[in-house]
Amino acid sequence: MRVKKSDFILEIEPNAANLRDQLMSQVQDLDAKLTTAQIKSEVYAQNVIDFQAAQVAAVGGAVELMAAAKAKWDAELQLLPGYEAKVLQAQLNHDRQKGLMKKGIKAEVEIENSRKTGMSPNRTLSR
């Protein structure tokens, strides 16, 4: 079928002309909304990536802190026998000095002072 010059195809009423403009405006609004949604999607995707990187960094930092704390703990544990030996030596020195005091060789005041200062009564402070 062919259209002839006198054939009626479409009649545009005044409201219909305005409808075309309204539809074009709606299409432009939808295009703007689509662009905004795409930008938000990209931003949210980048936020997820950034949060994942922050999580990895936080976990890595925590692991490093735990490793450092364990290393410090292990180092302190290695010092423990030395401190225990010092306590034992101080107790043995004190007991020996008490024995000397009972025999009358050392004065009680000298032994009490050595117990308070942690020094053997046989040692003197160097100046």
pLDDT bin (cut points 50, 70, 90) of residue 126 is very low
Give the contacts of 93 (CB within 8 A, at least 6 positions apart).
Answer: 114, 120
Rg (CA), the chain: 46
Mean pLDDT of 68-73: 96
Local structure of 68: helix, strand or coil: helix
pLDDT at 120: 52
pLDDT of 125 > 50? The answer is no
Distances (CA, A) of 1 to 5, 6, 7, 9: 13, 14, 11, 13
pLDDT of 122 > 80? The answer is no
pLDDT of 102 > 60? The answer is yes
pLDDT digits 0-9 by tens, 35-60: 999 999 999 999 999 999 999 999 99
Mean pLDDT of 83-96: 90
pLDDT at 124: 43
Better pLDDT: 120 or 31: 31
pLDDT of 112 > 80? The answer is no
